Amino acid sequence: MKYEDYVDLSYKPKKSDLICHFYLDVRGRERIEKAAGAVAAESSIGTWTEIATVKRYVLKNAAKVFSIESVGKLRRKANIKIAYPIELFEPGNMPNILSSIAGNVFGMKEVLNLRLNDIIFPEKIVKSFPGPLFGLNGVRKVIGVYDRPLLGTIVKPKLGLNTKDHAKVAYEAWIGGCDIVKDDENLSSQSFNKFEKRLKETLKMKKKAEKETGEKKVYMINVTAETKEMLRRAKLVAESRNEYLMVDVITAGWGALHTLRNENKNLKLVMHAHRAGHAAIDKSPVHGISMKVLARIVRLLGCDQLHIGTAVGKMFETKEEVLANREALLCDFYGMKKVMPVSSGGLHPGMVPALWKIFGKDVVIQMGGGIHGHPKGTRKGAIAARQAIEAAVKGISLRKYAETRPELKEAIKQWGVVVRV
């Protein structure tokens, strides 16, 4: 089969097909049909030339380009859709699936740019993955908060604090009103803050904060490491009677994440997914893999929470992109549990009205510098952030609510208010 033979615009996808939506930008004078066929061929059964080893029965597993919609007038760019027979994939094997549909195709000479914008997984593939153990509703049950966004922070500075100071920062945030405190993505078990000692000291402060506030508090400790070491750390977290772990899903790898989720059947920890490294994959609008696709994968592999952008903070995504990411976590997915969206990156209390408009109540709002950078310190910063959430839920403007709340007033003076998105 030649590359063009993989294009069949009359094909009607089967329910069992895995369907990929790509943006394709062809190189030089390549025809769009040939380049689209090349993507389908190289991600299924084909190669660059005719080969004698193809048996007739192999041909039924060829991927098919069934839609080409030109972008612009020159027919150099297009949105294409490719259907893949389910037989091409090993159930429950995400590295296998992505090695096919998101592997060598990005480096082919016919392709100038290629972006995997979405994947429609068939039910049989979805059911072969574990999905979240807790999901959005389970997270709510663990924390015991149902009527508002959850408030979180990240210990700052992200690196350098010793164990006792790390735990003290966490305590101040919890006392001020944070539900959640988490490690930053690059804190693991460095010499100045060893994992085991940090777990012990921070949980001690967590219990103290719970006793003093009467509220459930959460600590998300980062277990990311070589896979066996990651599993060992996760086991330590469970043995310490903590409820949460955090994992850097992209840098850890999809196979390692799946292994962690399988182990979590017994550990029963809420899995918080940090997306460190995602922008190397999804930032370009014309090449790579969209965050929406990554969100679908994280949901399949069993995380209960995932960072998806802010639209108002320091991250690059637009409101439309963030909403698409959110939809991937909350949409019906053959009965699979929903994932709690997490908004994090350059946030402060003055952004809560905008975040409320985007997410509603089902979100973890995480502020790092927006809490620890408060003029009166971490505790006051957490109080201000909690007050901002209270105002949003009650439908009261931040400036009005701040008239009798000095902590929020100071935060607004420091960073202002963002209402529009």
Q: Which residues does the annotation mark as catalytic?
A: 156, 274
Whether the Cβ atoms of residue 119 and residue 289 lie closer than 8 Å to each other: no
Find, among 210, 154, 414, the residue nearest to 388 by Cα: 414
Q: How many CB atoms lie within 10 A of CB 232?
A: 14
Residue keyed to tokens 């914008």: 117
Give the closest residue to 143 by CA, choosing from 272, 330, 251: 272
Rounded to 5 degrees, φ, ψ at 364 are -100, 115
CB within 8 Å of 52: residues ≥ 6 apart: none
Cα separation of 402 and 324, whole Å? 33
The helix/strand count (H/E) of the chain reads as 17, 13
Helix (H) or strand (E) holding 326: helix 319-330
Burial 355-381 (b: 16+ CB within 10 A, else e): bbebbeebbbbbbbbbbbbbeeebbbb
| Sign, CA torsion 283/288/292/297 | negative
- DSSP 8-class letter at 349: G
Alpha-carbon distance of 155 to 136, in angstroms, equals 24
Residue type, 298: V
3-state secondary structure of 4: helix
Helix (H) or strand (E) holding 305: strand 305-307
- Asked if residues 28 and 43 have their Cβ atoms less than 8 Å apart, the reply is no
Residues 356, 359, 362, 363, Cα dihedral to 10°: -90
Cβ(63)–Cβ(88) below 8 Å:
yes
Separation in Å, CA 106 to CA 115, 209, 287: 8, 50, 8
